[in-house]
Structure 1
Amino acid sequence: MTDLVPIGRALISVSDKEGLIEFARALAGYGVELISTGGTSLTLRAAGLKVRDVSDVTGFPEMMDGRVKTLHPMVHGGLLALRDDDEHLVAMAAHGIEPIDLLVVNLYPFEATVARGASYDDCIENIDIGGPAMIRAASKNHKFVTVVTDPEDYAALLDEMKRNDGAASLAFRKHQAQIAYGRTAAYDAAVSGWMADAIGEEAPRRRAFAGTLAQGLRYGENPHQSAAFYTDGTNRPGVATARQWQGKELSYNNINDTDAAFELVADLGTDEPACVIVKHANPCGVARGATLADAYARAFDCDRTSAFGGIIALNRTLDGATAERISEIFTEVVIAPEADEAAKAVFAAKKNLRLLTTGGLPDPRAKGLAFRQVAGGLLVQDRDSGQLDLSALKVVTKRAPTDAEMADLLFAWKVAKHVKSNAIVYVKDGATVGVGAGQMSRVDSTRIAARKAQDMAEVMGLAQPLTKGSVVASDAFFPFADGLLTAAEAGATAVIQPGGSMRDAEVIAAADEAGLAMVFTGMRHFRH
């Protein structure tokens, strides 16, 4: 392939005008002839630049409200012609087709149109046709043509031309072609995904997913795994949209754990200050409190050992007093909607602590897709945005929960939703006091959570563990009475669980015999 290809003619057609005038002026400084369309042409002329309309090249006016303007052999011949193929050169000469050396296109803002809640018809009108066709043509012919689809690459192209006296190297053209195909792929993914939702197609024949690189990562879950972090364009408040105020670069595991923590704290709402501490994607302490500092202290007391080196999420503006408490031990990441200056000043002395602010909390009720890879395929499902219908709660025992027990049961249920199954969560007075996660047996999760509470009682010098007088949540039904009885032995007085086991009657009878109150939700929250 030819290495250096001088850029003599450029076709520019962009929706995003950021940096356009300066970029086009620099191209003109290299003697590049500028061809343009519609609004781009008007913008360049208004800046005093000499521009040739694409209609002069094609011999046809732009028509059908701009739907047809670049879909023409004079354009695509100029992009696709092989300059080292005699037959192509003869065809170009015979039909007066001039080569196009540079294509600069960014597409109609389809994703932004959807994001602002536009109508179906408006979204359809913002599906670009000519742009993707030109991008694909130029990218295919990267042997001779340079393509730029993002304003952020303007400077890189100008640097390339400066190094090569107005030419672009083959390596640069290949790099830009890959970026361009990624852009059209992401665009088509956005269109097909939107249309599937718009027409109610729950399982479309083909699913496409796309992301934009946010940052390269040093490695993945382990040092031998390469990794990168991509945003999906939804702008859901969280780690993907957060501002990092300090601390070293986030790792793969930091991002995963921070997301888990922030989604849980959002599920707790904003009625009271709340804090979540996560370790290895599972909450090890969750609490509400009179203040954020109080909520943190109560969450920390659930499992002080696991909290070391953990991730902390808060549902309100981080203040200096809370930051002081948090800074007493090593913490990897703190994420909150906002942080005041006093909090930032406290953390400034903790160089390894990452502080993230998001500007808001994600909506736990918002719909969305979740997916994971399996060998040979993808599992795709709705995000678990299911919320408990209080009117559907069913008291199944002789004793109903007290008001205080019910408040703790509902809190425990929300926490259990975010714990890896099999999940067991003990709660007392609005704070977790024992969490059992990810065990193969539900009774084992029950025992582990109780044991953690016993360990913390010894650390805190308490006469008995805080599971005494607590309530317990199970993310799925108790298949046997043994798990429930283990919780009763730990001191739980009330239980919330989905119900639906073949042995529900046996479990209910055991609860009645133990004096427990129990409610069924009719909903489960497996989290694998």
Structure 2
Amino acid sequence: MTNTPTPVRRALISVSDKTGIVDFAKALADKGVELLSTGGTARALKEAGLQVTDVASVTGFPEMLDGRVKTLHPKVHGGLLADRSKPEHVAALSQHGIPEIDLLAINLYPFEETLLRGAGFEACIENIDIGGPAMIRAAAKNHGSVTVLVDPADYAGVLEELGTGGVSAGTRQRLAAKAFSRTAAYDAAISRWFTDAVGDGEPTWVSFGGTLGESLRYGENPHQRAGFYRTPESRPGPARPGVATARQLQGKALSYNNINDTDAAFELVAEFDPNDAAAVAIIKHANPCGVATGASLREAYELALRCDPVSAFGGIVALNQTLDAEAAEKIVEIFTEVIVAPAASPEAIEIVAAKKNLRLLVTGGLPDPAAPGLTVRSVAGGLLVQSRDNGRLGATDLRVVTRRAPSEQELHDLLFAWRVAKHVKSNAIVYARDGATAGIGAGQMSRVDSARIAAHKSEEAAKAAGIARPLAEGSVVASDAFFPFPDGLLAAAAAGATAVIQPGGSMRDEDVIAAADEKGLAMVFTGMRHFRH
């Protein structure tokens, strides 16, 4: 490919998103460019007073099959694919009366938007574009001769270059790369939806695509590059509420770590039904440092903060109800990076506004913790793909394995602690009492260390709150996976726990149960674990 800018004499325009297309086409026409178009785009351009040649008059075939076939023709693809540097290609065009196409401005049937509307299977099928991706790929492959535009944001830049005589090779390459990325993301959305629709849990090929929502200053560390990409849902209906769909009402731009932590916080707080109680989760480095329910958001926040007020400094606060003024007044008393909630009252927004750097996000709803979905993690040379951990348990799912059964209050706290433990990095230990965490041990290589760290946290929290005894005394304890030895359970008993919830399944379950009986603990098995790595 030469570095010579290519002039544009003929352009094919076919768009479903007509943003800016009339002005772009007028500017092309003013530069003497012949306009080819199809269907609704051609009508829109003609109504704007532009002279447009219908593609059907070029191909000699009308649009047919409800518009499924209109551009799939040699006189279109030949004009896009001919390499103008090869005399034999140019001769073939002349021999068959195929006009060269120098610019393609196109976007695709709105498949992703159709999913968001909650359309049924047949409607989704009809919104799978065939001719569009074929033309995009043809023009992008032949970027040595053709300029391809798939994003209205690029119209102005191309017009500016045309004013100097032609589109540069560098721009054509950049636009071609963007075009291939667009078709890849489009096909990925279709693939994920179709695979999900037919229930293929382990497809032979898997792909994921997204649209850049914003470029980030850097990643986890300043030397790392990063961007925040939004991905379409694989099921018809609204997108999962969360940080990707949230409106930021104020504060500086979110960082990579802010986004990661905010997602962790909001997914955790969504475990608690807002119709049952107010709930607040405070997150630091993707781990909860305090979670609580209460009669009000302010009460829940105060209880969550009490669990680890030191770690909460500079944390993320997630709420399961509309942020109100009382809660906002309390939250802004200490440095907080982000507040995320389904909504916020005008009074709360005004209170938060006094803290210029504090980000306030509203999502419009809570994610469904039981909804299916996928999580993806990159490893060297591959991707680890799994279904989302949407496992949930109720009281009837638990099996009492000790001589003593838990009391009604212990049972309530055990289920609370279990929901929190699901969102704590493994090895996870969570002490809880009266609907609030009393100590959290996260991410340790040994489960007994997590139990001891959580107990120590409960002691420090009690001192900070002016409480005589550690918060873990009289609490229950949740373990995200089984106790391989009695030592972790004994550490929890020493911290003052009275009841235990754990998956069970260890080779030494009988030893652990015996230790619980000896200490007078009630223990229930879930039969489900919640590793979070």
Q: How does 1:243-254 map to 2 (within 5 A)?
A: 243-254=247-258
Query: Does structure 1 residue 238 correspond to structure 2 residue 242?
Result: yes
Query: 2:76 aligns to what?
Result: 75
Contact 1:2–1:144 (Cα < 8 Å) also in 2? no
Question: 1:65-93: CA deviations, max 9, x gaps?
Answer: 22221111111111112223222222221
Contact 2:189–2:232 (Cα < 8 Å) also in 1? no
* Equivalent-residue separation in structure 2 for 1:224 and 1:336 (angstroms): 31
Q: How does 1:182-261 map to 2 (within 5 A)?
A: 182-234=181-233, 235-261=239-265
Query: 2:482 aligns to what?
Result: 477
Query: 1:100 aligns to what?
Result: 101
* Equivalent-residue separation in structure 2 for 1:324 and 1:28 (angstroms): 59
- Give the letter for the 2:212 counterpart: L
Segment of structure 1 superposing worse, 171-180 or 303-312: 171-180
Contact 1:498–1:521 (Cα < 8 Å) also in 2? yes
Query: Does structure 1 residue 432 correspond to structure 2 residue 433?
Result: no
Question: 1:158-179: CA deviations, max 9, x gaps?
Answer: 34434x25x3222221121111
Which of residues 486, 492, 505 in structure 1 aligns to 2:491? Answer: 486
| Pair 19,396 (structure 1): closer, same or farther in 2 beyond 3 Å | same
Q: How does 1:429-468 map to 2 (within 5 A)?
A: 429-468=434-473
* Equivalent-residue separation in structure 2 for 1:294 and 1:214 (angstroms): 35
Query: 1:146 aligns to what?
Result: 147
Segment of structure 1 superposing worse, 167-176 or 305-314: 167-176
Query: 1:29 aligns to what?
Result: 30
* Equivalent-residue separation in structure 2 for 1:390 and 1:33 (angstroms): 71
- Aligned-residue offset at 1:2: 4.0
| SS state at 2:386 partner | strand
* Equivalent-residue separation in structure 2 for 1:231 and 1:160 (angstroms): 31
- Aligned-residue offset at 1:389: 4.2
Query: Does structure 1 residue 397 correspond to structure 2 residue 405?
Result: no
| SS state at 1:11 partner | strand
Question: 1:437-482: CA deviations, max 9, x gaps?
Answer: 0111111100000001111122222110111111111111111111
**Aligned Cα RMSD in Å?**
1.5
- Aligned-residue offset at 1:135: 0.3
* Equivalent-residue separation in structure 1 for 2:33 and 2:247 (angstroms): 40
- Give the letter for the 1:273 counterpart: A
Query: Does structure 1 residue 268 correspond to structure 2 residue 272?
Result: yes
Query: 2:236 aligns to what?
Result: none
* Equivalent-residue separation in structure 1 for 2:73 and 2:106 (angstroms): 16
Contact 2:324–2:347 (Cα < 8 Å) also in 1? yes
Query: 1:421 aligns to what?
Result: 426
Question: 1:305-339: CA deviations, max 9, x gaps?
Answer: 10011111111111222122111111111111112
Query: 2:53 aligns to what?
Result: 52
Segment of structure 1 superposing worse, 396-405 or 38-47: 38-47
- Give the letter for the 1:369 counterpart: L
| SS state at 2:307 partner | coil
| SS state at 1:301 partner | helix
- Give the letter for the 1:48 counterpart: G
* Equivalent-residue separation in structure 1 for 2:478 and 2:160 (angstroms): 60
| SS state at 1:5 partner | coil
- Aligned-residue offset at 1:141: 1.4
| SS state at 1:10 partner | strand
- Aligned-residue offset at 1:28: 2.2
Contact 2:315–2:337 (Cα < 8 Å) also in 1? yes
* Equivalent-residue separation in structure 1 for 2:395 and 2:466 (angstroms): 38
Report the TM-score when normalising by structure 2. 0.96
* Equivalent-residue separation in structure 1 for 2:308 and 2:127 (angstroms): 52
Segment of structure 1 superposing worse, 11-20 or 180-189: 11-20
Query: 1:133 aligns to what?
Result: 134
| SS state at 1:69 partner | coil
* Equivalent-residue separation in structure 1 for 2:162 and 2:457 (angstroms): 64
Contact 2:394–2:415 (Cα < 8 Å) also in 1? no
Question: 1:215-245: CA deviations, max 9, x gaps?
Answer: 1112111122111111112332111111112
Query: 2:313 aligns to what?
Result: 308
Which of residues 282, 286, 291 in structure 1 aligns to 2:287? Answer: 282
Number of aligned positions between the proteins? 526
Query: 2:156 aligns to what?
Result: 155
- Aligned-residue offset at 1:526: 0.5
Contact 1:319–1:342 (Cα < 8 Å) also in 2? yes
Contact 1:2–1:143 (Cα < 8 Å) also in 2? no
Query: 1:333 aligns to what?
Result: 338
- Give the letter for the 1:231 counterpart: R
* Equivalent-residue separation in structure 2 for 1:312 and 1:335 (angstroms): 6
* Equivalent-residue separation in structure 1 for 2:157 and 2:344 (angstroms): 36
* Equivalent-residue separation in structure 2 for 1:114 and 1:461 (angstroms): 53
Contact 2:395–2:415 (Cα < 8 Å) also in 1? no
Gaps of 5+ in 1: none
- Give the letter for the 2:4 counterpart: D
- Give the letter for the 1:25 counterpart: K
| SS state at 1:147 partner | strand
Question: 1:253-286: CA deviations, max 9, x gaps?
Answer: 1111111000001112212111100011100000
* Equivalent-residue separation in structure 1 for 2:368 and 2:48 (angstroms): 44
* Equivalent-residue separation in structure 1 for 2:92 and 2:382 (angstroms): 45
Contact 1:434–1:449 (Cα < 8 Å) also in 2? yes
Contact 2:102–2:147 (Cα < 8 Å) also in 1? yes
Query: 1:510 aligns to what?
Result: 515
Contact 2:395–2:411 (Cα < 8 Å) also in 1? no
- Give the letter for the 1:314 counterpart: L
| Pair 344,159 (structure 1): closer, same or farther in 2 beyond 3 Å | farther
- Give the letter for the 2:208 counterpart: F
Query: Does structure 1 residue 372 correspond to structure 2 residue 377?
Result: yes
- Give the letter for the 2:267 counterpart: E
| SS state at 2:215 partner | strand
- Aligned-residue offset at 1:112: 2.4
Which of residues 505, 526, 529 in structure 2 aligns to 1:521? Answer: 526
Report the TM-score when normalising by structure 1. 0.96
Query: Does structure 1 residue 84 correspond to structure 2 residue 85?
Result: yes
Contact 1:275–1:313 (Cα < 8 Å) also in 2? yes
Contact 2:81–2:139 (Cα < 8 Å) also in 1? yes
- Give the letter for the 1:75 counterpart: V
Which of residues 305, 322, 331 in structure 2 aligns to 1:317? Answer: 322
- Give the letter for the 2:339 counterpart: V
Query: Does structure 1 residue 347 correspond to structure 2 residue 352?
Result: yes
| Pair 404,128 (structure 1): closer, same or farther in 2 beyond 3 Å | same
* Equivalent-residue separation in structure 1 for 2:59 and 2:21 (angstroms): 24
